[in-house]
Amino acid sequence: MKANVTMTVRTAGQNFAVIDIKGEINAFAENALMDAYTQASSTAARSIVLNFNGLDYMNSSGIGLLVTLLIRAKRQNQRLLAFGLTEHYQQIFELTRLNEAIGIYATEEAALAAG
Walking along the chain (115 residues) 10 residues at a time, the average pLDDT comes out as 89 93 96 96 92 96 96 95 97 95 96 90
CATH of the domain at 59: 3.30.750.24
d(CA 10, CA 59): 25
Q: What is the pTM of this model?
A: 0.95
**From its phi and psi, is residue 44 left (phi > 0), alpha (psi between -120 and 50) or beta?**
left
Distance of CA 61 to the CA centre of its chain: 14
φ, ψ at 3 (rounded to 5°): -65, 140
Number of folded domains that form the chain: 1
Q: Give the structural domain span for 99.
A: 5-114
